[in-house]
């Protein structure tokens, strides 16, 4: 019902800008959160994300020409016009570079888009939160193209196309996890994904009397402006040094024992720390998946804390805001576990907490966070939802 209500409100704005004529269609693509397994995806390791019930909505219709019109309620001063003949990234296109990138990637794969589209977008994912608003928009665009022009593309291929566009059009060197979790999402289920070969399975994750609470630091950041690419390069360099004496394709192919045996060859303390996080986090994610299957939320929660500490001490991607939120969460009643989620350097934490303790948690954590950081955080109670879909109105 929530999706219908939001799209019904959007429809009024769409008709003011684009009119009531034509085959108007309605779509939703979720955001995602990663429960555990951070910075392992581009190192060939395991991740455990899930799709959310917040995400990106679109109303769209075909045009009779090759023009592309983009409008977002999140950026109302940025109505953007482009063309299928101008599928190149440019500063003026701003957020529309993400859907343009997906169109470019479709055409790169031989799927020529026959006509322009009017887009009307609204996202309920906080921008810059690390909950994959860009990947949600990419998968959403792929879904629209498939639906409107009858392209034969699976949901898994939508994820790969979205990643290809982000890497090669928008020049963000991200892994596959975000787009995969969004395109393959399933309600009440996490996705246990091995990123090097895309083997995966659903893991039941029914919350019952436990809530999934996301806390946004509200620290402004952009992935392309962060040290994300630097960390990726450090991991690649650590791998190269290990490969001098050990045949291995990815850092996450190493067991903890093998890493400890061969880490001397890295010969740089910072690079050893980066690799140590990746190898230990991969092993932790495998164990956390088992704990989730067994319904052992206490054990899962402890691993969340261990993950955060590794991201803080070895990968060094947390910072005052994220560390303050996790520390504040750790002393609240009913909390099973908490950790940063996403690339880091701002963004969000994810907390598992007994549902009846959520309101007191919000009050106490807000007070501690604001006193320490100087500005407030934001809270989002979320559910685990399905993947992208067309919605009949």
2-205+385-390 maps to CATH 3.40.630.30: no
Q: How confident is the model at residue 221 (pLDDT cuts 50, 70, 90)?
A: low
Q: Which residues of 42-70 are buried (b: 16+ CB within 10 A; e: fewer)?
A: bbbbbbbbbbbbbbbbbbbbeeeeebbbb
pLDDT in tens, 2-46: 899 999 999 999 999 999 999 999 999 999 999 999 999 999 999
Other CB atoms within 10 A of residue 195 CB? 23
pLDDT, residue 227, reads 80
SS3 category, 300: helix
pTM: 0.92
Q: Cα(15)–Cα(13) distance, rounded to whole angstroms?
A: 5
pLDDT in tens, 281-338: 999 999 999 999 999 999 999 999 999 999 999 999 999 999 999 999 999 999 999 9
> Of residues 178, 253, 306, 314, which has the active-site annotation?
178
For residue 279, pLDDT over 70 is answered with yes
Q: Which residue has the higher pLDDT, 229 or 118?
A: 118
pLDDT, residue 1, reads 61
pLDDT, residue 310, reads 98
Q: Is 178 a catalytic residue?
A: yes
pLDDT, residue 224, reads 44
pLDDT in tens, 103-161: 999 999 999 999 999 999 999 987 767 677 899 999 999 999 999 999 999 999 999 99
């Amino acid at each position: 019902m929530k999706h219908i209500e939001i799209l019904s409100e959007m429809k009024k704005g769409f008709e003011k800008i684009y009119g009531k004529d034509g085959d108007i269609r309605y779509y939703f693509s979720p955001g995602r959160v990663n429960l555990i397994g951070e910075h392992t995806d581009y190192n060939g390791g395991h991740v455990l994300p899930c799709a959310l019930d917040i995400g990106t909505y679109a109303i769209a219709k075909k045009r009779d020409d090759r023009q592309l019109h983009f409008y977002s309620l999140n950026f109302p001063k940025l109505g953007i016009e482009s063309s299928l003949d101008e599928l190149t990234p440019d500063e003026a296109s701003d957020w529309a570079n993400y859907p343009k990138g997906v169109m470019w990637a479709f055409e790169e794969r031989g799927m020529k888009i026959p006509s322009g589209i009017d887009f009307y977008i609204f996202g309920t994912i906080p921008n810059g939160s690390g909950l994959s608003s860009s990947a949600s928009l990419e998968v959403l665009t792929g879904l629209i193209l498939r639906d409107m022009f009858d392209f034969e593309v699976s949901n898994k291929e939508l994820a790969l196309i979205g990643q290809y566009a982000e890497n090669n059009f928008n020049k963000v060197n991200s892994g596959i996890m975000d787009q995969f979790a969004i395109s393959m999402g399933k309600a009440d289920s996490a996705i246990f994904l091995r990123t090097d070969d895309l083997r995966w399975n659903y893991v039941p994750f029914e919350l019952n009397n436990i809530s999934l609470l996301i806390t946004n630091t509200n620290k402004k950041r952009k992935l392309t402006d962060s040290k994300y690419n630097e960390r990726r390069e450090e991991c690649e360099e650590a791998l190269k040094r290990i490969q001098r004496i050990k045949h291995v394709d990815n850092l996450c192919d190493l067991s903890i024992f093998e890493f400890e045996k061969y880490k001397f060859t890295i010969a740089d303390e910072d690079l050893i720390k980066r690799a140590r996080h990746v190898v230990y986090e991969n092993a932790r994610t495998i164990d956390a998946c088992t704990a989730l299957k067994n319904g052992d939320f206490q054990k899962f929660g402890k691993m969340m804390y261990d993950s955060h500490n590794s991201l803080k001490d070895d990968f060094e991607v947390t910072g005052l805001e994220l560390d303050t939120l996790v520390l504040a969460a750790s002393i609240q009643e009913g909390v099973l576990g908490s950790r940063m989620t996403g690339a880091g350097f701002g963004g969000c934490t994810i907390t598992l907490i007994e549902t009846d303790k959520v309101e007191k948690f919000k009050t106490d954590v807000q007070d501690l966070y604001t006193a320490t950081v100087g500005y407030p955080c934001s809270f989002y109670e979320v559910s685990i939802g399905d993947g992208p879909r067309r919605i009949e109105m």
